[in-house]
Structure 1
C-alpha cells in the first residue's frame, strides 16, 4: 500500500452507526476521528476487586490515562443473585467527572446453566465456555425459550446501568461480546452466526428499546468471519498480549484489523499486556487510536512492562494523557452528523 493510501486509512468520517446518537457520543467520535493517525490515547483497565492501577500510573509518571476501562462483570444477574456487587458504574461516573473517557466491556456471566465446580469452573468464572453449558445457538434459534428470555433480561439489566451514564451525559466506548472468535467465552462457543445474531439483538434492543444513544459500538470479534457488518460497528478493537517486555507496534494485527471491512473504521488496541513502543508505532504506521492495558501485574510489576517504558510511554509526544484531553462536553460537533 502506498504512503498516500496508508494515510487515507486514518481519515475517518465522524459518523456513528446509530442515526439517533446523542451529542455526547458525536462529540467523542469527532475527537477520536480528529486525533486518529496523529495521536494515541492512553488507557488503563481497572481491577475487579481493587483498583490501584491508575493511581500507580500517576505515582510513576505524574499522569493519568486518558481512557478508563470498566467492566459490568459483577452486574451480570447470575452473579448478583449469588452475592456479587457491581461497582463500576459509579467508578465510571467519577472518572468522567474527573475529565477522563469511559470504555466498558462486559464479562457476561452466562444467564443460566453454570457448571459451578470450583476452583477452575466456579460460578464466578461463568463467562468462560468451560464454566457453563449455556447454548447460545439454541437460545437464538428459539425466541420463546427460557434461555432467549434470560438473554433479554441480562441485556435489560446492563442497559439500565448504561442509562445512568447516558443521563449523566457520559458517552461510552461500548465493547461487548469481546474476543468472540477465540471460543473461550460462551458467546463465541457456538460459532460466528449465533454471536453475530446476539450482537445485532443487543444493538437493536439497546438503541431501540432503551434509547442508549450515548454508545459508540466497539467490535472486538478478532476475525473477519465474525464481523457483523459496517452498519453495526463504529470502531474495531484488537486485544493483543505480546510476550513479556516486548514493546512492538503490533503492526501485523493492525493490518489484520484493516482487512475486516473495506470501510474505513478507527482501529484501537482495546486490550494489551506490555505497552507498545510509541516510536515503533510511528515508524511502522501502526497508529492505534487508543490502548487499554489490562489490570494487575501488567502495570504493578515490571514483569511485563518495565517502569522506564511506562514513563516513556506516558510522556511521549504521540500519546495523550487525561490532562491533555479537550473538554469533551463542548468539543465541536461534526459538521455532518
Structure 2
C-alpha cells in the first residue's frame, strides 16, 4: 500500500492553476508530468557577476544541463537606481533558443528602508532581513501605504521582463518569494500570513493584470504553514544544501514536501549544493523532477591563471560524471521539442 501511494504521487495530471495558461506553458507542464518519477532533469543556476557554470559543466561532461536557473536580482528597482543592470532576461532567452528550459527566482531587494551598513548589510544585500527595515506585514495590512505601492511597482517591473519572455514564446518555471519560512529574507520575516498575502497578490497581478500566462508557479516556502493553497501552486520546490561530498537522496525532505498538501503536485529540488546520487534517489523513492545546483563555488573555482575550472569541494568529478551520464538524468540534448510536445488529450 505504501509503495502504491508513492507511485500515485508521481502521477500528476498535466494541468496548470492558470486556466488560460499559454500553450507553450501547458506543453512544458505536460512534459514535466510525463517524466516525473521516471527521470530527473539536470539543472544549474548561473552566477551573478560571472557566468561560467554551464561552460565548466560542458567541459567536464560533454553535456549541458536541461534546466538553466536565472535571477531577477539586479532588476530590483532599489538596485537599478544604484546602478545595477540586469542581464538574466537576455541570457534566459538565449538558453531557451539553445534548447533548454528556463527557471527564474528573484532575490528581491526590499523596495525601501535599506540599512546600507557594509560590509554584511550593504544595500546589495537588501533581500536579507538583516539588511532592511522594510515591514512586509505593515505593507500588506495597509494597501494605501507607500510600502504597498512600492511592492506593486517592483512586481510591475519584473512583470515587464517576464512579458518580454512571454512575447518570445518562452515558458518560465517561476519561483518567487523562495525559502520564506527560514525568515532570512524580508518576505518571510513576519510569519506566514503576510507572506501568503504577498504570494496571492503577486499571482493575481502577474496573471490578471499583466497577462503572464507563460508562467508555471513554483512554490518554495519550505513549511506547510506557509503553503498558499492548491489554487496558487503548480509545483513544490525544496532547497537543500547537504554537507560537502554527501550524496544522499534527500528523501526526508522529499517526504516532507509530500505532506504540504493532499493534492498531487510535482516536487523539485529547486536549489542544491552537493549533487544527489541518482541511484540513491531511485532506491529511496525521492525522484525529484529536476535539480538546480547553485552557482559559484558549488561548481567552479579559479585556477592559477584565474580561469574557471571544476571545483570538487562539494561534488567530486566522479559524481558529476555519474549524474550526467546516468539513464535517470535528462540533459539539454535529451529534451524533446517542447514547442510541439503533445498536450493532454491531443492525438499523438
Q: Structure 1-normalised TM-score?
A: 0.99
**Within-5 A mapping of 1:274-293:** 274-293=274-293
Three-state SS of the structure 1 residue aligned to 2:339 is: coil
Equivalent pairs counted in the alignment come to: 336
**Within-5 A mapping of 1:232-311:** 232-300=232-300, 301-311=311-321
For 2:75 and 2:2, the matched residues in 1 are separated by 47
- Which residue of 327, 332, 344 maps to 1:317? 327
Instruction: Report the aligned-residue RMSD.
Output: 0.7
**Within-5 A mapping of 1:164-175:** 164-175=164-175
For 1:334 and 1:193, the matched residues in 2 are separated by 35
Q: Give the C-alpha shift of residue 190 in structure 1.
A: 0.5
Three-state SS of the structure 1 residue aligned to 2:281 is: helix
Three-state SS of the structure 2 residue aligned to 1:65 is: coil
For 2:34 and 2:11, the matched residues in 1 are separated by 8
Q: Give the C-alpha shift of residue 310 in structure 1.
A: 0.5
Three-state SS of the structure 2 residue aligned to 1:205 is: helix
For 1:10 and 1:173, the matched residues in 2 are separated by 19
**Within-5 A mapping of 1:1-337:** 2-300=2-300, 301-335=311-345
Q: Give the C-alpha shift of residue 187 in structure 1.
A: 0.1
Q: Give the C-alpha shift of residue 316 in structure 1.
A: 0.3
Unaligned runs of 5+ in 2: 301-310
Three-state SS of the structure 2 residue aligned to 1:329 is: helix
Q: Give the C-alpha shift of residue 273 in structure 1.
A: 0.3
For 1:307 and 1:109, the matched residues in 2 are separated by 35
For 2:344 and 2:27, the matched residues in 1 are separated by 7
**Offset from partner CA, 1:221-264 (integer Å, 9 cap, x none):** 00000000000000000000000000000000000000000000
Three-state SS of the structure 1 residue aligned to 2:340 is: coil
Unaligned runs of 5+ in 1: none
Q: Give the C-alpha shift of residue 334 in structure 1.
A: 1.4
For 1:275 and 1:296, the matched residues in 2 are separated by 14
For 2:271 and 2:252, the matched residues in 1 are separated by 16
For 2:141 and 2:49, the matched residues in 1 are separated by 36
Three-state SS of the structure 2 residue aligned to 1:282 is: helix
Q: Give the C-alpha shift of residue 92 in structure 1.
A: 0.1
**Offset from partner CA, 1:198-230 (integer Å, 9 cap, x none):** 000000000000000000000000000000000
Q: Structure 2-normalised TM-score?
A: 0.96
Q: Give the C-alpha shift of residue 335 in structure 1.
A: 1.8
Q: Give the C-alpha shift of residue 2 in structure 1.
A: 1.8
For 1:234 and 1:50, the matched residues in 2 are separated by 31
Moved runs in structure 1, 4+ residues, more than 2 A?
none
